[in-house]
Chains A and B, each alone.
Chain A
Amino acid sequence: MMEFDFSGIIPSLPGLWNGMVMTLQLMALGVVGGIILGTILALMRLSHSKLLSNIAGAYVNYFRSIPLLLVITWFYLAVPFVLRWITGEDTPIGAFASCIVAFMMFEAAYFCEIVRAGVQSIPKGQMGAAQALGMTYGQMMRLIILPQAFRKMTPLLLQQSIILFQDTSLVYAVGLVDFLNASRASGDIIGRSNEFLIFAGLVYFTISFAASLLVKRLQKRFAV
């Protein structure tokens, strides 16, 4: 049997903190980019143009049927090539940027479905009223529909963000030093990888669990 010794964690805390900052950055950028792209996709899906809605539908189906890890790996290897084709010269780009792009594009598919459901949950009369007031499509969406829809779907968006918070750990595959990778590295150095793994698990658990409790509370408050 092995014995546990957690004392090595305290001196490593600054390194772990840097990893956590990386994790939070990945999550925040992924969520913001994902929601923006996801909203555009949702509007495309809901638009009257068959072409636009089919493109968005294909995008969503495509990204929802492949693993996130595949997207992360592929983008990591492919983005430098694509950039070279676009710019015509070698553009060095790190794992961080390619992971952000991967998260944004992948999460957009999931956020799109949330936003679409949110928009569809707004009573039809709201649209009719906006049109009767002479609003253009853009004004109607921007001023009337989306603000209400976002309010309704806030809990779902947050839940998806918690899932993304956990999924950021997959950047381990491309060697980016997020919280999990930082814990593994610091643990390996002093030969205490098991303790650091348990610690990492506990931290992830505490954050996700606390966040999901908050979301549940919010859900009750937002309930119509």
Chain B
Amino acid sequence: MNYNWDWGVFFKSTGVGSEIYLDWYLTGLGWTIAIAIVAWIIALTLGSILGVMRTVPNRIVSGIATCYVELFRNVPLLVQLFIWYFLVPDLLPQNLQDWYKQDLNPTTSAFLSVVVCLGLFTTARVCEQVRTGIQALPKGQEAAARAMGFKLPQIYWNVLLPQAYRIIIPPLTSEFLNVFKNTSVASLIGLMELLAQTKQTAEFSANLFEAFTLATLIYFTLNMSLMLLMRLVEKKVAVPGLISVGGK
């Protein structure tokens, strides 16, 4: 048995409809980006709230946030995904359950599960970064705000958070990139994102190496371009007068 190299395989017909293999990759890339962006929005929102909670001078509030972080950081992503995809729907009230299992098409329900799972998984990581960012600020900032008569929400909203975000851009960037890589677990519950499309291409065309090389290149390019983009943002918003802090 010999291996037939063929780098033109991506422009060949898949035999399914009038699609060529490249179309599969584009569809897959679309799903990957969609999952990553929605999950990232969830993670950034909840992560910021929990990150603030962890630094608030109230034991119960910060305790809740700590428990969340420990729970979501110490269970493997795949286990969490299975819990959201297989277990949680069973716990819903009957009418919601019927809607999720019967009315939704399988792609939509898989998408919902992945997005919630990845969003909450990444929340724990974002939370830790936000906390680090807030704690890295000089103590004088909070004290000064307090002395000016700011209330606690105002201190966070107007003084601490705007600075903290600007410091933690580098570690947030790497979390953002991780979200893109982690979307690949969606292939294990049947969502046809980039990795699943790659596997399918490899199986249909028998051009295994070409199929995976292209996928690697796509991930690599995505990563590099996002990283360059975030570096520009980082430069734009850098806090003047600080040696870079909070980096990984």
Contacts and interface: CB of A to CB of B under 8 A. Distances in A.
Contacts of B212: 70, 73-74, 77-78
B188 interface: yes
B188 A166 contact: no
A198 B224 contact: no
Contact of B76 (A70, A81, A166): A166
Contact of A209 (B74, B76, B209): B74
Interface in A97-131: none
Given A67-B219, A69-B185, A197-B83, A212 B74 contact: yes
Contact of A66 (B93, B187, B199, B216): B216
Contacts of B75: 166, 201, 204-205, 208
B187 A69 contact: yes
A198 B75 CA distance: 11
A187 B176 CA distance: 34
Interface string B43-68: 00000000000000000000000000
B127 interface: no
Contacts, number: 99
Contacts of A184: 82
A77 B202 contact: yes
Contacts of A212: 74
B182 A65 contact: no
Interface residues of B, number: 41
Given A69-B184, A169-B77, 11 more contacts: A67-B219, A68-B181, A69-B195, A70-B219, A77-B208, A84-B1, A166-B75, A170-B78, A194-B90, A197-B79, A198-B83
B160 interface: no
Name which of B90, B184, B219 has the most chain A CB atoms within 10 A of its CB.
B184
Contacts of B224: 65
Interface size grouping (class) on chain A: 20 to 34
A176 interface: no
A90 to B, nearest CB: 8
Contacts of B78: 169-170, 172, 180
B171 to A, nearest CB: 14
B201 to A, nearest CB: 12
A86 B120 CA distance: 45
**Chain A to chain B: the 4 pairs with minimum beta-carbon distance, closest first:** A65-B223, A208-B74, A166-B76, A67-B184
A92 B190 CA distance: 28
Contacts of B185: 69, 170
Interface string B134-151: 000000000000000000
Interface in A73-98: 73-74, 77-78, 81, 84
